[in-house]
Amino acid sequence: MHLSPEDEAFRAEVRAFLAEKLTPDMREEAARSAGVWAEGPLVRRWHKILYEKGWIAPSWPAEYGGCGWGVVQKYIWDSECAAVGTPSLPAMGLQMCGPVIMRYGTPAQKEFFLPRMLSGEHYWCQGYSEPGAGSDLAALQTRAVRDGDHYVLDGSKIWTTHAHYANWIFVLARTHVDTKPQKGISFFLVDMATTGLTVRPILSTSGDHEVNQVFFDGVRIPADNLVGPENEGWTVAKYLLEFERGSGFAPRLGAMIAKVRRLAQDEPQDGERLIDDPDFRAKLASVEAQAAAIAATERRLISALSTGANPGPASSSMLKLSGTEIMQSATELALEAIGAYAAPDFTAARLGKVNWAPGPDHAIPVTARYLNNRASTIYGGSSEVQRNILAKVVLGL
């Protein structure tokens, strides 16, 4: 990408900052993480460093305390972070709930929640999915019943990422039963310390505790914590999903492919280097070509955004679909590259519970990351759902 002298200077500033602040222990812990986001304590540590620098909210406007960066600066930031492997910070607060509060929140909600989101005092999680409502989110059954100046919440949310670290959750609940399921849903901000709210862990096949089930049993929420009008939460919910699907896949894909290449060069199999195997090289080249197509699409998007154009609703679905599927192919190649070391259980070593590992260091996160990444084509709208959207919006079917 051609950068202006100002953007080159910005990139140099970012590189210097990351070189100074991303300590080897943080980098090591981030490299061993298999989850979508870094573990809670590392999240808090890195969040604080970025907050103190004023760089915690690259996509927020300056008037709310964000960096006010343009799209090119944001792309440089994402690329540099991916290249050095910074801890991945949860999107639920700054990237999802923040824009919703900016758009639909009352002045009092903006004043209370946005600064605490920036500082990290509030750690957010997302209460959308329920045991019977995932892709078909409008089928949700959690109820919120008005009682004086409160609502009383009963029901359950599932797959709630980082609910065990979070102290606030945004929740979709039914405030009115209508013939059309999308009607009568409202959007609430809930303090997780409220009586009647419990969090139970769900362990994933990768060995991580990342997701949970959250139960609401007569949880009383101040009516002031309703965002947008009562019964109009579906509009708010859909606005938030535009931010969940997002972009920025290319830098992470580039970093992952570089890792696969290193593994295939370093890890001998039957005395040969895997990178010299023609079949493996062809598979790697195919993933690289697809990643290059994503990078080109993202750059086209950046260019459109920087001239004020609206890229349309298809872009986020297209990038979510292809970005996650190509990342899955890359994690599969990483698994192939470590050969027999794909089998041992590295969980204790990966989570720092023991100081030895049943194989080389570079193999530690590979299988867990492969397993964890299977979920990426399910969460944030499954691949099938994205294909449905593209069929409708792009192909007009």
CA atoms within 13 A on the CB side of 201: 8
129 part of the interface to ligand FAD, by CB under 6 A: yes
Catalytic residue among 230, 244, 288, 332: 244
375 part of the interface to ligand FAD, by CB under 6 A: yes
Q: Point out which residues pair with 211 in neighbouring strands.
A: 202
For residues 181 to 210, the per-residue mask of contacts with ligand FAD, x marking binding by CB under 6 A and - elsewhere, is ------------------------------
Q: Give start and end residues of each alpha helix (H) in 64-165.
A: 71-84, 98-104, 107-119
Locate 8 and state its tokens: 């080159």
Which of 49, 67, 334, 385 touches ligand FAD (CB under 6 A)? 385
Give yes or no: 210 in active site: no
Interface region with ligand FAD, contact rule CB under 6 A, candidates 26-34, 73-81, 131-139, 233-241: 131-139
Locate 380 and state its tokens: 């944030």
Pick the closest to residue 54 from 102, 120, 118, 113 (CA basis): 118
Residues 84, 296, 6, 55, Cα dihedral to 10°: -50
The nearer residue to ligand FAD, 287 or 375, going by C-beta atoms, is 375
59 part of the interface to ligand FAD, by CB under 6 A: no
215 part of the interface to ligand FAD, by CB under 6 A: no
Q: Are strands 124-127 and 168-174 parallel, antiparallel or unpaired?
A: parallel
For residues 136 to 155, the per-residue mask of contacts with ligand FAD, x marking binding by CB under 6 A and - elsewhere, is x-------------------
Rounded to whole angstroms, the Cα distance separating 308 from 318 reads: 20
The nearer residue to ligand FAD, 13 or 384, going by C-beta atoms, is 384
128 part of the interface to ligand FAD, by CB under 6 A: yes
Find the length of the chain: 397
Give least dist CB 169 to ligand FAD, A. 9
Number of residues that bind ligand FAD (CB under 6 A): 19
Element (H, E) at 279: helix 278-306
Is-contact 164 154, C-beta < 8 A? no
CA atoms within 13 A on the CB side of 25: 5
The nearer residue to ligand FAD, 94 or 337, going by C-beta atoms, is 94
379 part of the interface to ligand FAD, by CB under 6 A: yes
> Catalytic site residues?
244
Binding residues for ligand FAD, per CB under 6 A? 125-129, 134-136, 159-161, 211, 375, 378-379, 382, 384-385, 388
